[in-house]
């Protein structure tokens, strides 16, 4: 065993050493070749998607397919899915799954090359089929990109397997001379080729992804400008906002506004070719181009929208100044038939919402086809070129982004996207309130401390906010003068502290006198209930 460190000894020795190396040489390089080939296929397709307008990302297409395969009732699985992190996780999952399957395919292909060809062709068919489902992608480019991926992957697979099998064959020889001459070198060639491939995958994939992200970035489409509304709202008065450091602003800037949707990549809609159709149970079907929509009398209003997935105390809620066309005006010119009890909003990517016609037509609220957000054209992430904003309803039943169709139908005929997945069909926003300052777990100085936050009950309006400390008596907080019943309010209470740990709790009351319940419920199926409570330390 004195010669253990000598590679020549290892190569020469019969039995265990060379045997284990041989099986190692058989399985691992083949698996590595397969995994790298998957990387090449994916990187090539991401690069094509990044470079060619209308070429779909295969990773995103397969991710969307996975999303669309959610079983009915998978509501717990999908609570808060579609936050940015979950989308990243889904992309990573798709890539990791592809790499693992391809590693196995590599092992099979080491024995029989045609098995590798079959595996990569199957991947190409799956990815191509998934990409063809994307209504925004060019069909030819979807198929073409899948073909590019398969060919690039196979070239890498067969090339690397060729190197790996030379290495294995030479490594397995009993001829000491040949073994001394070759295995280290061929192994090294395989390793160099693998490392080079990996480097290429990282660069090509990285460039492709960055280009894709750039194309779908939350940019305001530069050519579009929204005209000033005929009816502009006055600027907010001084007493409409509270000046407590750290409090959530009354109006959330576009870049900070929460974003929730099922789109793995925000649809990039061309306003020059986009159309909005009004269809179904109406007297006169209507179609609007973007310019036609902008030429109509525009209206603006503050509306607080909220996501049904928002947990008590969380931030999937926001208030913005929306500019748009009155939905009622559009429906009146379309002539809604009496039996049309539901309005369905459909997006360019096939997402749907549904809400009662009666809710939209009620005199006390003004649903709109919004084209502007805080006096900017809608950002891509928030639905450019147009979206629905319906005061008082959770986003998943009302706030269709990238709107393409408004269909009048019956309540029974259509379920919106989330309804078969276990979420309520009727979904008014529940009364909620949140403590923003101090933050949960914070240590505050002794003395008088401002407790502050926001409370919402669109579109009933918040009339009262109360705070209690350590389950003591409820104390009325000061609230900002409401902008409208459709918007949230800020609230604050000056608290004279005592040392130690304290529980802070908030509740709101809406204009009908209903006090926010303290009975906790999950977000599914119709929104989270319960009071926001936090714990703070007074130093």
Ligand X SMILES: Nc1nc2c(c(=O)[nH]1)N[C@H]1C(S)=C(S)[C@@H](COP(=O)(O)O)O[C@H]1N2
Using CB under 6 A, list all residues that contact ligand X. Answer: 257-263, 307, 347, 351, 382, 395-396, 399-402
Q: Is 449 in the site for Mo ion (CB under 5 A)?
A: no
Which positions from 226 through 285 interact with Mo ion, judged by CB under 5 A?
260
Phi, psi for residue 92 in degrees, rounded to 5: -60, -40
- In 3-state terms, the chain is what percent helix, strand and coil (to 5)? 40, 20, 40
- With CB under 5 to 8 Å by kind, the binding choice for 347 among ligand X, Mo ion, none is ligand X
N- to C-terminal Cα separation, the chain: 67
- With CB under 5 to 8 Å by kind, the binding choice for 110 among Mo ion, ligand X, none is none
| C-alpha distances in Å from residue 269, one per residue of 81, 87, 231, 396, 419 | 24, 21, 27, 21, 26
Q: Of 102 and 266, which CB lies nearer to ligand X in the complex structure?
A: 266
What contacts 48, CB < 8 A, 6 or more positions away? 55, 141, 144, 145, 148, 208
Q: Of 322 and 396, which CB lies nearer to Mo ion in the complex structure?
A: 396
Half-sphere exposure of 215 (CA within 13 A, CB side): 22
What is the smallest separation between the CB atom of 307 and ligand X, expressed in angstroms? 3
What is the smallest separation between the CB atom of 236 and ligand X, expressed in angstroms? 21
CA 345 to chain centre: 19
What is the smallest separation between the CB atom of 387 and ligand X, expressed in angstroms? 7
What number of chain residues touch Mo ion (CB under 5 A)? Answer: 4
Are 508 and 461 in contact by the 8 Å Cβ rule? The answer is no
Position among 42, 307, 462, 504 found at the interface with Mo ion (CB under 5 A): 307
Q: Of 194 and 380, which CB lies nearer to ligand X in the complex structure?
A: 380
What is the smallest separation between the CB atom of 299 and ligand X, expressed in angstroms? 19
Q: Of 252 and 260, which CB lies nearer to Mo ion in the complex structure?
A: 260
One-letter-per-residue 3-state SS of 177-240: HHHHHCHHHHHHHHHHHHHHHHHHHHHHHHHHHHHHHHHCCCCCCCCCCCCCCCECCCCCCHHH
What is the smallest separation between the CB atom of 293 and ligand X, expressed in angstroms? 17
Phi, psi for residue 203 in degrees, rounded to 5: -70, -50
Placement of tokens 């909005």 in the chain: 276
Token readout for 246 is 């750290």
Half-sphere exposure of 536 (CA within 13 A, CB side): 26
Residue 22 parent element (H or E): helix 16-51
What is the smallest separation between the CB atom of 257 and ligand X, expressed in angstroms? 6
Residues 76, 522: Cα–Cα separation, whole Å: 9
Placement of tokens 């060619």 in the chain: 52
Binding track, positions 393-412, relative to Mo ion; x by CB under 5 A = --xx----------------
**Span interacting with Mo ion, options 53-61, 209-217, 234-242, 301-309, rule CB under 5 A:** 301-309
What is the smallest separation between the CB atom of 72 and Mo ion, expressed in angstroms? 18
- With CB under 5 to 8 Å by kind, the binding choice for 130 among ligand X, Mo ion, none is none
Q: Of 307 and 437, which CB lies nearer to Mo ion in the complex structure?
A: 307
Q: Of 109 and 307, which CB lies nearer to Mo ion in the complex structure?
A: 307
What is the smallest separation between the CB atom of 395 and ligand X, expressed in angstroms? 2
What is the smallest separation between the CB atom of 383 and ligand X, expressed in angstroms? 6
Give the closest residue to 281 by CA, choosing from 328, 320, 336, 236.
336
Q: Of 274 and 402, which CB lies nearer to ligand X in the complex structure?
A: 402
Binding track, positions 338-377, relative to Mo ion; x by CB under 5 A = ----------------------------------------
Q: Which residues are at the interface with Mo ion (CB under 5 A)?
A: 260, 307, 395-396
């Amino acid at each position: 065993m004195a010669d253990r460190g000598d590679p020549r000894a290892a190569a020469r020795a019969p039995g265990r050493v060379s045997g284990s190396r041989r099986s190692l040489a058989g399985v691992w390089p083949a698996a590595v070749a397969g995994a790298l080939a998957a990387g090449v296929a994916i990187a090539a397709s991401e690069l094509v998607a990044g470079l060619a307008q209308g070429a779909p990302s295969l990773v995103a297409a397969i991710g969307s397919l996975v999303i669309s395969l959610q079983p009915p009732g998978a509501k717990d699985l999908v609570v808060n899915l579609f936050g940015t992190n979950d989308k990243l996780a889904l992309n990573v999952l798709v890539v990791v799954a592809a790499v693992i399957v391809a590693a196995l395919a590599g092992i099979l292909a080491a024995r029989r090359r045609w098995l590798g060809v079959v595996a990569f062709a199957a991947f190409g068919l799956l990815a191509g089929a998934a990409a063809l489902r994307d209504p925004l992608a060019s069909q030819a480019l979807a198929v073409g990109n899948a073909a590019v991926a398969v060919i690039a992957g196979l070239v890498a697979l067969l090339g690397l397997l060729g190197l790996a099998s030379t290495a294995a064959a030479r490594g397995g020889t009993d001829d000491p001379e040949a073994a001394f001459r070759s295995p280290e070198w061929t192994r090294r060639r395989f390793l160099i080729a693998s490392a080079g491939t990996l480097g290429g995958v990282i660069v090509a994939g990285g460039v492709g992804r960055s280009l894709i992200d750039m194309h779908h970035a939350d940019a305001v489409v530069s050519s579009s400008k929204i005209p000033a509304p005929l009816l502009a709202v006055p600027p907010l008065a001084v007493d409409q906002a509270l000046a407590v450091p750290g409090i959530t602003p009354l109006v959330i800037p576009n870049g900070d506004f929460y974003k929730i949707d099922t789109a793995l990549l925000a649809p990039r809609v061309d306003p020059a070719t986009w159309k909005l159709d009004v269809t179904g149970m109406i007297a006169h079907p209507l179609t609007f181009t973007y310019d036609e929509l902008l030429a109509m009398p525009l209206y603006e209003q503050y509306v607080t929208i909220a996501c049904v997935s928002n947990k008590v105390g969380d931030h999937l809620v926001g208030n913005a100044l929306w500019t748009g066309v009155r939905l009622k005006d559009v429906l009146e010119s379309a002539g809604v038939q009496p039996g049309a009890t539901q309005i369905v909003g459909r997006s360019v990517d096939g997402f749907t919402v549904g809400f009662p016609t009666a809710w939209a037509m009620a005199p006390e609220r003004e649903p709109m086809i919004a084209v502007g957000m805080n006096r900017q054209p809608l950002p891509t992430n928030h639905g450019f070129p147009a979206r629905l904003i319906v005061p008082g309803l959770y986003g998943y039943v009302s706030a269709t982004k990238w709107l393409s169709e408004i269909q009048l139908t019956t309540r029974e005929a259509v379920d919106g996207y989330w309804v078969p997945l276990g979420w309520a069909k009727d979904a008014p926003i529940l009364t909620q309130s949140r403590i923003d300052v101090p933050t949960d777990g914070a240590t505050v100085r002794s003395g008088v401390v401002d407790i502050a936050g926001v409370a919402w009950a669109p579109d009933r309006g918040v009339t009262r906010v109360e705070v209690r400390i350590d389950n003591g008596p409820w104390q009325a907080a000061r609230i900002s003068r409401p902008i409208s019943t459709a918007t949230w309010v800020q609230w604050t209470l000056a608290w004279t502290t005592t040392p130690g740990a304290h529980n802070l709790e908030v509740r709101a009351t809406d204009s009908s006198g209903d006090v926010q319940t303290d009975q906790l419920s999950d977000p599914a199926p119709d929104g989270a209930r319960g009071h926001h409570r936090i714990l703070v330390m007074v130093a």
